[in-house]
Each structure stands twice: as structure tokens, then as C-alpha cells.
Amino acid sequence: MTQTLTITSPDDWHLHLRDGAMLKGVLPETVRDFGRAIIMPNLVPPVVAGAQAAEYRGRILAAMPSGADFTPLMTLYLTETTDADDVAAAHASGLITAVKLYPAGATTNSDSGVANFDKVQGVLERMAEIGLPLCVHGEVTDPSVDIFDREAVFIDRVLDPLRRRVPDLKVVMEHITTADGVAYVLSQDERLGATITTHHLIINRNDLLVGGIKPHYYCLPIAKREEHRVALVEAATSGDARFFLGTDSAPHSDPTKESACGCAGVFSSTNTMSCLAHVFENANALDKLERFASLNGPAFYGLPTNSSKITLIKQADPVGFPEKIHTEVGDVTVFDPGFPLHWTTS
């Protein structure tokens, strides 16, 4: 018997689209299933001002497949010289939905990020006043801190002090990867939320490292121990309104991934909803999938839910997702969950 599940169309609250030919190549993979997405601003050069965000949004809309119904939600890249008035004006006009904090050097194209948090205090206070959320890449970059501990240390050293200094600021801990991150969110009020990626619900660090290094599983924050993956699944499938989907789908061409110093990023836009249906079904929580993928994110951001619906259909034979997405700047490998996927969308 065919099994189906109809839910409100989902949103992706953390997405990399890149620019130019890569943008044109990967955008169709998102708009197929998602109504909206928070667009990351870490281009080269980064999107640091309202005018740049407007131009980038224009390029995304120009690359949209014919007939697509998709809204890009723009962000600004926080730097130590960010102009609070420009941020406020971009928010008031409806252009931006959030501001993104990258600790300097934490991940791809983060060199322009924040090293001295005192220098962004005024911008954060202004954001709290106008109700503009801050999206945080939660890792310290101190070389003395083990890469597997950087999220937990960030919470103690940076995030908790920041929230105490600006208690009214809405903050999203993006792509949490640890039980520490889950526990911190659960200990806080509704002004703190967290996104969880598709791949962190499925892979642990063994998948990345055992039997040879798997470059297409390498991401930042890096995948952690199995106990942390289990904690993420429990959080995502709990129905708790503070946890919602942010794929962190991040396209890189295969040569830049499969190199002596490969780029960090997992591309999962193509099969995310199928992967999530599998994870939630295994957790006996298919009834919670809509909350995680479609309802909790809009509620946190103060936006209406999508008016459209999608239907997930479970079929007997595995779904034939493409192994790679072809773009003019090279092939992009699609996330491989390591097991057959039987859910598809219509």
C-alpha cells in the first residue's frame, strides 16, 4: 500500500546558493521543494551592505526557473565595521531577514568575520531594538581548541556572554552539531532557536573518517560522535518549536572538494526532504516532520507559514536521485546518506 504524507511546504533556514554559474546550476534543486530560504551572505566579496543584498537578491530572482514559487530571504554579513543604520534601513524596507555572524576564519569565506566582539556591540543592540535576528556560526577559532570541541567552547566563551549582554536579541544557533548545543537551547528562552542540518542528522565522524577520508562528508562544523548525532535526532523529532531545518547545503565543484585541501560543505538540497522523511520515520515521528521543516522556522522569524503544500510518497523501490548536479563550473556531488531512500515529493 502506498504511504503518503502531506505537509505545509517547507523552508530552508540556512542555505548557500553561491553566485554566477553555480547559483544557476543549484537553485533549481532548492526551489523544487522549498518555499523560502535564508540565503547566506559569504560570497567573495561578502554581502555586507543593504545595496549588495539587493543586488544579490536580483541575481537570484533572475536565475529562478520558470514557474518557480520561491522567496529568497536575504541576510547581511556582520563585520567589525558594519553600519547599524544601514542594517536597520535594510530591515525596515523588508530586504533582509537576518544578519549573519561568522567568527573570523571559522568556515568558508569567513575571513571578513568578527574577531573583536566589542566592536559589534552597537549593531547587536540596534538589532535587538528592531527585532532583527542574528544567525550565528557557533565555533571558536582558537587553534588550541580541538575542532570537535569548538561548538561547546563557543557557547561558553562567546554565545552565552553575548546573550547576557544583549538579552533581547533573537539568536539562531545555526547547524548545531552537539548534545551541548541541544542542551543549551533547551535551557534558554524562546529568543534562542537552532537549525539542524540534514547531514548532521545522518552522519557521524566515523562516516567521515573510517575506511578513508570522505571529502563529500567534510563540513564545518564537522560531524561529531554518534552520541551527538542521536541528540540532534531527538531534538529535531521532538516537535520543540526552538528547533527547525537549516540544511546548510553548500555547493562546491568536485575538484575543490576532492583535493589536497578540500573545501568544507555538503550539498543536500536535492534529497533533503527524502532524507528527513527517512529519519523521522525511523524515529516514529513522521507526525513531527511538518513542525521541524515547515512550521517552527516561520514561527521563530515571525513570518506566516507557506500557503502551499507538498506531498511525500513512500515507494517500494528506492528513489533514483542523481549522484551529481551538473553546472557550468563543474559537477557538484549530492549528499549520499549511505542507505536507500524510498520517500519522494510531489
The three cell numbers locating residue 294: 515547515
Closest-CA residue to 228 (of 200, 188, 269, 194): 200
Q: How far apart are CA 255 and CA 257, in angstroms?
A: 5
Active site residue 160: no
Return all residues near 184 (Cβ < 8 A) that are at least 6 apart: 155, 159, 160, 173, 192
Q: Catalytic: which of 248, 254, 287, 336?
A: 248
- How many whole angstroms separate alpha carbon 74 and alpha carbon 203? 29
Contacts for 130-133 with beta carbons within 8 Å, 24 or more apart?
Answer: 130/88, 130/91, 130/92, 131/170, 131/302, 132/87, 132/88, 132/91, 132/96, 132/98, 132/99, 132/170, 133/97, 133/98, 133/99, 133/169, 133/170, 133/171, 133/172, 133/300, 133/301
Q: How far apart (Å, rounded) are the C-alpha atoms in residues 110 and 176?
A: 18
Q: Is 98:72 a contact under the CB 8 Å cutoff?
A: no
d(CA 336, CA 328): 22
Check: CB of residue 204 under 8 Å from CB of residue 247.
Answer: no
Q: Using an 8 Å Cβ cutoff, are 96 and 90 in contact?
A: yes
* Contact status, residue 48 vs residue 112, Cβ threshold 8 Å: yes
| Residue 191 · residue 169 · CB < 8 Å | yes
Name the residues annotated as catalytic. Answer: 248
